[in-house]
Amino acid sequence: MHPTALPAPYRVGEWLPADQEFLGQWLSELISKVEAQGEVPLLPVVAQFKEAVEADAELYMLFSTMLTQVPFRKTPTHDPQVRTIDHLFDLFNHVMTHAPEYNDTGLVGFPINAILDWSMGTHAGYAAFLNKKANHHFKNMLNAWGTFLTSADSTAVLIDSPTGWFGADALKKLGNLGEDFVCDPQAPHYGFTSWDDFFTRQFRDGVRPIASPGDPNVVVNACESAPYRVSENVAEHSRFWIKGQPYSVAHLLANDSLAPQFVGGTIYQAFLSAMSYHRWHSPVDGTIIKAYVQEGTYYSETPAEGYDPSGPNDSQGYIAEVAARAIIFIEADNPAIGLICVVPIGMAEVSTCDITVYEGQHVTKGDQLGMFHFGGSTHCLLFRPGVSLTFDLHGQTPGLNSSNIPINSCIATVVTS
């Protein structure tokens, strides 16, 4: 392993537990909590979503059917856990006022994803989670949850306990929190004012040094992430939903007028974990040409993967084309690189892409471009055809079992001769 590579995650991204038995038990306990509360009024944003599903014939059919299409005999409980639309939205409603708790053996960082885990693999779920009206309401609901996660109330899990993020087990996973990140270990909650403030924590200066800052041929890692795939000679259009999930440049870049420049080029994709640093940095020196957020899906996964037990982890190539994402074009100062594109991609709950640069701004390697709120998921770097690159993946083979490469480390070098 490369000397600066971080330890391999126990499970891809560590957002959901690897043990389906644990996940089933977690959901059973959540259901018991919700049922013990009795009838609780739905939050306005949840009520609006439910009303939209019940009022729309197509959505009502899809949401009802996906719950019944779950192959219960294959699930850990062998029983339907989420039984009806009413039941589904009651569970959503509970999640909206709770930040994820730490668990050393089975972190559920994606609680809504966990509720929908089996439904995502059904035929009805495939259609439901591509539906624009459904995704509009998922966006509103997740934004409302994000508002809670930025409030002081969300610090309830930032405590020293087995399920707290500042307990001994969690701090061991987080590493040198007090030394590596901007915080105050002597203050309540280390000085973090909310769950979101903790999850978007920033490295202290010098903790992640920029590789070869004076060498324009060195491309640095834009996210603290694990390499998933390197694909060359990418097509303008492809059947990205099939096995293998080939990239479809036009769809990935939302048919942007600059997209044709990347046809036949190279795409590097890598994924973030639950414990990762969740801000994005510029991989090159250059000028921001365009920067915007493209709306998309939140819980869609490709049917080619079947019942992905960690969905949508196995669908990362696919979701690059359909999920909510940021699209940031940078004209590199180095003419041997030219135009590149950084695409941070939301996955399930972690889909709020916050761009912090503007068109016309000049950035240097390592400058912040933006961040994922409530965690992070996956991202792509696109290079034009003719840009010859030697990738440095720190001794790893890209795939779901790779480990984090520190942000600002070298991930590629331009070959100029």
pLDDT value at 358 more than 60: yes
Token pair in block for residue 259: 């997209």
71-82 residue pLDDT tens:
765 555 556 678
pLDDT value at 107 more than 70: no
pLDDT bracket for residue 127 (50, 70, 90): very high
pLDDT bracket for residue 160 (50, 70, 90): very high
pLDDT value at 12 more than 70: no
Q: Are the C-beta atoms of 222 and 406 separated by less than 8 Å?
A: no
pLDDT value at 167 more than 80: yes
Interior angle at CA 309, CA 307 and CA 315, nearest 5:
70
368-417 residue pLDDT tens:
999 988 755 789 999 999 999 999 999 999 887 888 999 999 999 999 87
Provide the percentage of residues in the chain whose pLDDT is more than 90. 58
42-71 residue pLDDT tens:
999 999 999 999 999 999 999 999 999 887
Partners of residue 373 on adjacent β-strands: 352
Quote the CA–CA distance of 42 and 90 in Å, as a whole number: 7
pLDDT value at 108 more than 80: no
Interior angle at CA 58, CA 55 and CA 61, nearest 5:
90
Residue with tokens 């739905």: 42
pLDDT of residue 14: 52
Q: Which domains does the chain have, with CATH numbers?
A: 12-154 (no CATH), 218-414 (2.70.70)
Q: Are the C-beta atoms of 332 and 232 separated by less than 8 Å?
A: no
| 3-class DSSP assignment, residue 373 | strand
Q: Are the C-beta atoms of 287 and 254 separated by less than 8 Å?
A: no
* pTM across the whole model: 0.90
Q: Is the peptide bond before 216 cis (omega within 30 degrees of 0)?
A: no
For 35, the enclosing helix (H) or strand (E) is helix 20-36
